[in-house]
């Protein structure tokens, strides 16, 4: 009787409730053009594909129980990795435009601020002072595209997404390994 009861509980394990050490998530592929995770959406959270460990049986959200062998992904596990969304704007381009054409506001047009661009254009970069301030802001990564995307910085190789105080802890080990290798 007790055994039947325990079996019933065990078979009711839902894949979405698996604990962190019961599945392994795949690292997302890296886009070589941007050196960021490929397919990062505007929300900057990338859903990972996760495979329950070999021998785990659990129920998918649809309802059917599956036996996993360690290589098959579960549909129901929800793990997200922070990522950086880019929208085809390059840091190097922004800096060069800012140096040479900043007094005409071209850097502001490139980054998607046409009104400020027009003001700079008609005031000679606010007598050069506004152009200089913009150049410093762009150089120090304080000024980016108006759509909230990140400027592409592709020449150092992959740019890791450092785990911030606000993000959830390190639930996937492969990320730790990755960080150990980089830092
Ligand atoms: C998982 O399910 C298979 C058959 O579907 C069964 O043979 C196996 O014993 C189950 N494993 C566990 C740990 O419940
Ligand atoms: C796990 O199962 C899938 C499909 O059922 C199969 O293609 C794959 O080869 C299996 N992997 C192992 C390690 O048995
Ligand atoms: C961390 O994850 C838990 C459960 O997945 C969630 O309830 C919580 O809001 C998350 N915390 C942050 C800071 O994202």
Domain boundary assignment for the chain? 10-84, 88-152
Return the closest-CA partner of residue 97 out of 52, 56, 134: 134
**Which residue out of 4, 15, 56, 57 has the highest number of ligand 1 atoms within 8 Å of its CB and is therefore the one to mutate?**
57
pLDDT band, very low/low/confident/very high, at 11 (cuts 50, 70, 90) = low
Distance 167 CA to ligand 3 centre (A): 8
Please provide the average confidence, as pLDDT, over all residues in the chain: 85
How many other β-carbons are positioned within 10 Å of the β-carbon of residue 121?
17
pTM of the model: 0.71
Q: What is the pLDDT at residue 176?
A: 47
**Which residue out of 4, 54, 67, 69 has the highest number of ligand 1 atoms within 8 Å of its CB and is therefore the one to mutate?**
67
Average pLDDT over residues 4-32: 79
Give residue-wise pLDDT tens across range 94-108: 999 999 999 999 999
């Amino acid at each position: 009787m007790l055994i039947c009861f325990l079996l019933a509980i065990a078979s009711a394990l839902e894949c979405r409730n698996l604990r962190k050490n019961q599945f392994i998530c795949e690292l997302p592929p890296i886009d070589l053009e941007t050196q960021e995770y490929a397919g990062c959406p505007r929300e900057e959270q990338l859903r990972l594909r996760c495979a329950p460990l070999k021998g785990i049986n659990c129920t998918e959200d649809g309802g059917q129980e599956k036996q996993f062998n360690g290589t098959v992904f579960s549909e129901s596990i929800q793990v997200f990795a922070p990522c950086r969304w880019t929208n085809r704007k390059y840091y190097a381009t922004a800096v060069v435009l800012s140096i040479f054409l900043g007094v005409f506001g071209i850097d502001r047009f490139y980054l998607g601020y046409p009104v400020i661009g027009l003001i700079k254009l008609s005031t000679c970069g606010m007598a050069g002072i506004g152009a200089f301030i913009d150049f410093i802001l762009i150089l120090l990564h304080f000024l980016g595209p108006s759509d909230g995307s990140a400027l592409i910085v592709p020449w150092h190789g992959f740019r890791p997404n450092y785990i911030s105080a606000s993000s959830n802890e390190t639930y996937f080990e492969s990320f730790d390994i990755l960080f150990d290798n980089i830092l």
